[in-house]
Structures are given as structure tokens and as C-alpha cells.
Amino acid sequence: MYFVVFYGSTADFAWVSDAAIIPYQGVEAFTKYAQEMVDKAQMKSQK
């Protein structure tokens, strides 16, 4: 578990499980990963 602080107009915090953490490998890698997750979710919703 990780304790995470979110900064914005108000600071917030939460405990986040290891399964929800992805290693940061740059913006391009994250954009690709995010698109893959969207595509995967769309395929599941079509079933």
C-alpha cells in the first residue's frame, strides 16, 4: 500500500493498493497504456 497526496485546489490523500500503481515510463508510454485500457474496456462492453 502507498500513501498518496493529491495536490490541487484542495489537498487530498488516500491509501492506494499496489495493484493500482503503474511504473512511470514517460508521457508517451502512459498515453499508449491509457489507450490500450480504453480499447480493452470498449471490447468488453461490446460483448
pLDDT given for residue 32 in this prediction: 97
pLDDT given for residue 47 in this prediction: 62
**pTM, full prediction:** 0.60
Identity of the amino acid at 29: A
26: left (phi over 0), alpha (psi -120 to 50) or beta: left
For 40-43, the CB contacts below 8 A with 24+ separation are none
Between CA 33 and CA 27 the distance in angstroms is 10
pLDDT tens-digit series, residues 1-47: 999 999 988 889 999 999 999 999 999 999 999 999 999 998 877 76
Half-sphere exposure of 6 (CA within 13 A, CB side): 8
Domain boundaries, given as residue ranges, for the chain: 2-46
